[in-house]
């Protein structure tokens, strides 16, 4: 392994599952890369199992819509195990959260459609190769100046097969977590990723999160209010597979019908983009019953991608954005600055008794 000193660190661009991510320049080749630090000091056994899984999976997967692991480098401390190990990944200028939360970036229908299609392509390849990601969200989708979208941050991913009966339940960031996980299921499939994809596509249309619960109970309530209540008729195995279902099973008069189509069309910056076919695609990715939920292959064949404007390849997208690079961390810093300014303003106004609401994220 090469030493990390062969890279010149430029700036911190994010936080991964187990360490910081930096943009860096290879001193020999001048290539710009992302360095993901794996801090081995925090681990009892020296190397986080999540990092081992991520390295193993990324070495096995090779696809245009999956981030490329170039090599592993270490810091040069003497001893059996270096203090820091770095994954050297290809660098992409944007992540999807950064793009969506930056008003100066003008998006078109073509961006939304192409990135949805590219995400589904990456998922189809991953699932065909028996891997589930288990943390698909906008900030884990990277985009380069060529318009290519790539799935990143594989710290929660694992190889999977249909014989596995007990898997970790606490996976997937809350806003993107499907109902079966929130209801306690431990025997789940690749369909958990597909729910997340539905949430991400909806988020692209809105330029903000779709189902934004504050905790697990609130998230489940929000899903039921939006997508309707599951029941034993629509999901016959729910009681057997979801151990918490008994706590959430509604009385017959409490059951709500789905208002997902209405919710998807509500408060959009470009209402005309959310066509009937777009609603159909997202609705099938967000089916409460994972057995009825579309897989990536079925979704790739959705009418949405063939209606006008037909889905474009990455190379045909206009990527002349007003911002050269932006990631979720940049947006978080801006929000924290706004919050700090707001606090100062509140303190200045405290004597006069005037109150202002906090700034919107």
The listed range with the strongest mean pLDDT (48-57, 76-85, 131-140) is 131-140
Least confident window among 76-80, 98-102, 264-268: 76-80
pLDDT score of 81: 61
Q: What is the mean pLDDT of residues 279-293?
A: 98
pLDDT score of 252: 78
Strand-pair partners of 326: 94
Topology annotation, domain 2-90: Phosphorylase Kinase; domain 1 (3.30.200)
Say yes or no to pLDDT of 49 above 90.
no
- Of the chain, the percentage scoring pLDDT greater than 70 comes to 91
Q: What is the mean pLDDT of residues 215-243?
A: 94
Say yes or no to pLDDT of 270 above 80.
yes
pLDDT score of 139: 94
Least confident window among 9-23, 74-88, 234-248, 265-279: 74-88
Instruction: Pick the closest to residue 127 from 36, 54, 193 (CA basis).
Output: 193
Q: What is the dihedral of CA 302, 303, 304, 309, to 10 degrees?
A: 130
pLDDT score of 348: 76
Beta strands in 69-190 (DSSP E): 69-74, 84-90, 94-95, 131-132, 141-143, 149-151, 158-159
What's the gap between Cα 101 and its chain centre? 14
Say yes or no to pLDDT of 236 above 90.
yes
Per-residue pLDDT tens digits for 163-177 = 887 899 999 999 999
Per-residue pLDDT tens digits for 183-195 = 999 999 999 999 9
Topology annotation, domain 94-316: Transferase(Phosphotransferase); domain 1 (1.10.510)
Say yes or no to pLDDT of 59 above 90.
yes
Say yes or no to pLDDT of 111 above 60.
yes
pLDDT score of 50: 80
Q: How far is CA 159 from CA 1, 164, 239, 255, in A?
A: 26, 10, 26, 37
pLDDT score of 46: 64
| Cis peptide bond N-terminal to 212, omega within 30 | no
- Structure confidence at residue 110 as a pLDDT band (50, 70, 90): very high
Domain boundaries, the chain: 2-90, 94-316
Say yes or no to pLDDT of 360 above 70.
no
Q: How far apart are CA 65 and CA 86, in angstroms?
A: 22
Q: Which residues of 239-272 are buried (b: 16+ CB within 10 A; e: fewer)?
A: eebbeebeebbeeeeeeeebebeebbeeeeeeee
Q: How far is CA 349 from CA 56, 330, 336, 342, in A?
A: 55, 29, 20, 10
Catalytic residue, from 135, 287, 295, 330: name it.
135
The listed range with the strongest mean pLDDT (91-95, 247-251, 338-342) is 91-95
Helix (H) or strand (E) holding 283: helix 276-285
Least confident window among 61-65, 78-82, 241-245, 342-346: 78-82
Q: Is 3 a catalytic residue?
A: no
Per-residue pLDDT tens digits for 113-147 = 999 999 999 999 999 999 999 999 999 999 999 99
Q: What is the dihedral of CA 279, 281, 282, 284, to 10 degrees?
A: 110
Fold match between domain 2-90 and domain 94-316: no
Q: Answer with the residue of higher pLDDT: 319 or 18.
A: 319
- Structure confidence at residue 79 as a pLDDT band (50, 70, 90): low
- Structure confidence at residue 355 as a pLDDT band (50, 70, 90): low
In the block, tokens 């690079």 appear at 325
pLDDT score of 330: 75
Average pLDDT, the chain: 90
């Amino acid at each position: 392994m090469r030493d990390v000193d062969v890279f010149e660190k430029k700036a911190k661009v994010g936080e991964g599952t187990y360490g910081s991510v930096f943009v860096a320049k290879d001193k020999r080749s001048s290539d710009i890369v992302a360095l993901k630090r794996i801090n081995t000091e925090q681990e009892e056994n020296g190397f986080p199992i999540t990092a081992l899984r991520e390295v193993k999976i990324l070495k096995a997967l090779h696809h245009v819509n999956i981030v490329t692991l170039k090599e592993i480098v270490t810091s040069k401390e003497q001893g059996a195990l270096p203090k820091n190990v770095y994954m050297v990944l290809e660098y992409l200028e944007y992540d999807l959260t950064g793009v969506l939360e930056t008003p100066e970036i003008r998006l078109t229908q073509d961006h939304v459609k192409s990135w949805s299609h590219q995400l589904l392509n990456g998922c189809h390849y991953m699932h065909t190769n028996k891997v589930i990601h288990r943390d698909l969200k906008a900030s884990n989708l990277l985009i380069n100046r060529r318009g290519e979208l790539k799935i990143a941050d594989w710290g929660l991913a694992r190889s999977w097969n249909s014989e596995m009966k007990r898997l970790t339940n606490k996976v997937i960031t809350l806003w993107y977590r499907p109902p079966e996980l929130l209801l306690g299921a431990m025997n789940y499939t690749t369909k958990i990723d597909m729910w997340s994809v539905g949430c991400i596509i909806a988020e692209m249309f809105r330029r903000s999160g779709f189902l934004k619960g504050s905790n697990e109970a609130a998230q489940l309530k929000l899903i039921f209010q939006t997508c309707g209540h599951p029941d034993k008729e629509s999901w016959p195995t729910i009681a057997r597979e979801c151990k918490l279902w008994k706590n959430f099973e509604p009385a017959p008069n409490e059951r709500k019908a789905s208002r997902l189509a209405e919710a998807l069309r509500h408060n959009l910056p470009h209402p005309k983009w959310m066509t009937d076919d777009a609603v159909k695609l997202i609705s099938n990715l967000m089916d409460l019953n994972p057995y009825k939920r579309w897989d990536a292959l079925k979704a790739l064949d959705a009418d949405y991608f063939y209606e006008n404007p037909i889905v474009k390849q990455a190379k045909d997208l206009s990527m002349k954005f007003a911002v050269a690079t932006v990631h979720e961390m940049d947006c978080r810093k801006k929000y924290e600055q706004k919050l700090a300014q707001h606090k100062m303003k509140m303190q200045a106004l405290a004597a006069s008794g005037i109150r202002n609401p906090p700034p919107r994220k």
